[in-house]
Amino acid sequence: MSEEPGPSGQSQSQTQSQTQSQPGSSSSSAPTSSSQGSSSGSGTLSSVDTVPVQELQSIPEDEEEVQPQVWGRVIPLVHGLSVLNCTENQYIFGRDKACDYTFNNSIVRQSTHFRTYSKKHFKIFRDENLVYVKDLSGNGTWVDDEKIGNGKQSLLSNNSVIALAEQKHQVFMFIDKMGDDQPNLPLEFSKKYHIARKIGTGVCGEVKLAIEKETCKKVALKTINKHDFPSIGTATRNAEREIEILKKIDHPCLIKTEDFYQTEDSYYIVLEYVEGGELFGRIKAKKQLEEEIAKLYFYQMLRAVEYLHNNGIIHRDLKPENVLLTSHDDICLIKITDFNQSKILEESSLMKTLCGTPTYLAPEVFTHAATVGYTKAVDYWSLGVLLFICLGGYPPFNPECSTMSVREQIINGHYRFIPSQWKKVSNEAKDLIKKLLVVDPEKRLSVEEALAHSWLNDDEMRNTANQLMHRETSKVQKKTTKLESVGIFILDKMLKKNLKVVIFFYYRAQVYEFIYLLLKWID
């Protein structure tokens, strides 16, 4: 941490001389100048009289109001706070109403974190082109998970996240507006969301973190550039297919779409954002997953794929990169994403295009794609590869593990369990993998059969998974119940304090009902 730089010196403004014109009459002598010329008898300037330019006052013009330059934007990550566009050199944040940015409002006061905020918690200031945050509190301020320390300061960069009172309580994100990294987004999107940082890149485009202005909710913005494809038609078909699928699905283990925008050059798909990252990253960090955790994740994957297949959708690109985790905790909900390669089945149940990531492709995609075609059994195979990687920590079909190419290994179903990697894994888990990685799709275990496998006959795991999958639904129900309770409370107050008003509306309703019945009887 560095010491706070002193305030920048300000240049003194220079005084400008102004020439004031004196009022006069036509009988007074005409203005004179050092230039040669004669005066007319009328006392007015003749065509040859001249006046030095420096003596003339310029014609006044309406000065345009100079708009202050926004050098940074502080975006709230919690409900109840507002966006701050930084134009001054310094802002103090805290509970005190005298602060430049106060947390003291009715919504924030209801938060359990309110009392952990200091009266003056931190300040953001800039010195030349650098922006700093200084901790003024005793409870602590964090920038990108690093604690600053009371009286100390830290440099703020674009997309820095500020946490208050505790490391995980992220309250603000700082956006550097002096940089030129804001993309040309659709106007309607910009009205509703703040764009933040890049969080991923795929075959069809990049994914960025965005924040909904009204709710402070994080979302993921997937951009599909039409010009990245051999033809605009290809981009359109892929994007429209993905959008169609995203609109159709509704399952807790499948990523949800929030919004959709389109320009001449690109598609913009707004998806729900999850905090835990990709399954690939989790496996890479841990080398391999514990069997109980892998079982919990795999059960959810099976339920999600079962739902897709029941709705006539084949994913065709199941892999660890396309499985997202909703939390950094081991026990968490998973979300399958990226439906760009997916297919909605028509009357024919066969597909004949080569789609997906080679390492996870089923044998029939290589051997029968152009002739006989293939079915939803390709997803069963990919699930087997996924489970293998979760438990073993390495892909079953790998050029480093065989003299055969990956394609040959897959076609022949050639893989092996390396003893050192699989010594702690149960035989039941390995049996399920073997029954999914069967070359003949007709003999391959289906999703329904996999769910009935003895390895997944685990009541405790299923209860945990079901609780995770229904947590979102229970939150909605809980919110509705709370609103109903508030309504009853308000009605009770009305009955006690405004009984006359209630009686008036009651009798007016009775009159309306009487008129309605009378008109109905006349008809």
Catalytic (active-site) positions: 317
Taking the C-alpha atoms of residue 312 and residue 245, their distance in angstroms, rounded to an integer, is 10
Q: Which residues contact 319 (CB under 8 A, 6 or more apart)?
A: 280, 357, 359, 360, 382, 385, 386
SS3 of 16, please?
coil
Backbone phi, psi, residue 203, to 5°:
-60, -35
Helices (H), 138-289: 187-192, 232-248, 279-286
Contact 315, 305 (CB under 8 A): yes
Q: Which residues contact 423 (CB under 8 A, 6 or more apart)?
A: none
Taking the C-alpha atoms of residue 120 and residue 131, their distance in angstroms, rounded to an integer, is 19
Q: Measure Cα distances from 211 to 83, 142, 144, 175, 217 in Å.
A: 11, 20, 17, 12, 6
Q: Measure Cα distances from 34 to 25, 38, 45, 52 in Å.
A: 22, 11, 14, 9
How are beta strands 101-102 and 90-94 bridged, if at all? parallel
Q: Measure Cα distances from 105 to 10, 101, 114, 163, 298 in Å.
A: 36, 11, 10, 19, 45
CA 465 to chain centre: 25
